[in-house]
Amino acid sequence: MSEQSERYQQAAGGRAAGSHRAERPAPASLGVEPYLRAVVANAASDLHLKPGSPARLRISGVLRPVRDSLLGSDEIAELVLPTMTDAVAAQFAAANEVDYALDVAGIGRFRVNVYRTRGELAAVLRHISDRPLTLAELGMPEVLTRLALQPRGLVLVTGPTGAGKTTTLAAMVEEININRAVHIVTLEDPIEIAHTDKLAAISQREIGADTRNFGTALRAVMRQDPDVVLVGEMRDAETVRAALSAAETGHLVLATLHTTDARESVNRIVDFFAEYEQRQVRLSLAASLKGIVCQRLVPRADGSGRIAVMELLVADARIAEAVADPDKTDMITELVAAGSYLGMHSFDQHLCRLVLEETVTLADARLVATRPHDLAVMLRRAGMSAVRAEVVAR
């Protein structure tokens, strides 16, 4: 489990590039290379370059200085500007921020975001996984494989920024790619992890480069004979409406939301719409929803990285009723906690298991628990001493 969690941490820390059209191999030598080697050597996810601060690496979710001396704006410019193409430099000059990819021979691939802070140059370089990992390689529960291989319906992967949603979605797409001879169309802003056709054919489309926006792309995707559609983010009513329509008409739709649990995910989708539309949206969602995967990354107790802690919802008749009826939506949390026979569990149930296994510390559990008191009760019932469990509840 430790090795799987470490692989998850490394993969979740990495996303592929901003605009794939801005990708370029690095010149023979770059001033930033020593820092990039430090990223790889320390299994860091990100390198932060900010004027007036030391260069920092994000290691297991924590920023740590990689040198004592402070960076100046001119020094950052010398490190970053040589990595830009003329087109990228022009885009940065126009907008004061830009995303692009950087391939450095012998080191790896990075997504670069350059921006200005108080008028000075700054940058964050994220180490990118060079291939999508499988669900098995990530140590994911078997229920995610079942959700990925659904022939139709809607599957949501949710969580805050940096929770590893991209890594999980890419692994689900890879599961389909390996097992089903279908056409997968991904709509991403930007394209993140690049896929290679296996049993499936995969068309990756980037918002702003290959299509105007998510709404336009989703309207057009039905003419592209898709079996599976991945929506990088459901941001508005138009996108949600099109995704629900695709899920209801025989397609599998994978999508993300920035929500923390299954109940909130349902409410967020409904709240995109005016009140007079919400009843129909609830019925559509109840009919098409197959599962919700909510995740957060939590530090491992041994300091070796982070592990994905998840709430897993698998739709059944009771879940569908709770989605359709606003008076019963608050029951979703209880239904998830009671649904172990379908592979469901709440975030705190998963966290409890990890604490008992000593994979996650009590202190970290307390910080991320949805309901610290409920987690403490679970730990006591599972045999942990009342004194130790009470640390979580405080």
Condensed to tens digits (0 to 9), the pLDDT of residues 129-185 reads 778 999 999 999 999 999 999 999 999 999 987 788 988 999 999 999 999 999 999
Q: What does the pLDDT look like over 338-366, one tens digit per residue?
A: 999 999 999 999 999 999 999 999 999 99
Q: Specify whether the CB–CB gap between 317 and 298 falls below 8 A.
A: no
pLDDT-based confidence at 188, cuts 50/70/90?
confident
Please say if the pLDDT value at position 25 is more than 80: no
Specify the pLDDT at position 19: 44
N-to-C CA span, the chain: 29
Q: What single DSSP character describes residue 109?
A: E
**Superfamily for the 142-345 domain:** P-loop containing nucleotide triphosphate hydrolases (3.40.50.300)
Question: What is the C-alpha to C-alpha distance for residues 156 and 310, in angstroms, rounded to an integer?
Answer: 13
Give CB contacts under 8 A, 24+ apart, made by 231-237: 231/187, 231/255, 231/256, 232/186, 232/187, 232/188, 232/189, 232/192, 232/207, 232/256, 233/189, 233/257, 233/258, 234/269, 234/272, 236/272, 237/272, 237/273, 237/277
CATH of domain 17-127: 3.30.450.90
Residue closest to 300 by CA, chosen among 15, 10, 56: 10
pLDDT category of residue 189 using cuts at 50, 70 and 90:
confident
Q: Please state the pTM of the whole predicted model.
A: 0.82
Rg, C-alpha atoms of the chain: 22
Is the CB of residue 79 less than 8 Å from the CB of residue 66? no
Which tokens belong to 115? Answer: 């921006």
Q: How far apart are CA 71 and CA 35, in angstroms?
A: 13
What local confidence, expressed as pLDDT, does residue 394 receive?
55
Of the candidates 269, 362, 354, 260, the residue with the CA atom closest to the CA atom of residue 311: 260
Distance CA 349, CA 278 (A): 31
Q: How many CB atoms lie within 10 A of CB 43?
A: 16
Instruction: Provide the token pair at 378.
Output: 């679970």
3-state secondary structure 235-291: CCHHHHHHHHHHHHCCCEEEEEECCCCHHHHHHHHHHCCCHHHHHHHHHHHHHHEEE
Span 28-50, average pLDDT: 89
Compute the C-alpha angle 295/296/301, nearest 5°: 130
- Domain spans of the chain? 17-127, 142-345
**How many Å separate Cα 270 from the centre of its chain?**
22
Query: Which residues lie below 8 Å from residue 248, measured CB to CB, with a gap of 6+?
Result: 284, 287, 288
pLDDT tens profile 76-123: 999 999 999 888 899 899 999 988 878 888 898 888 899 999 999 999
The whole-chain average pLDDT of the chain stands at: 88
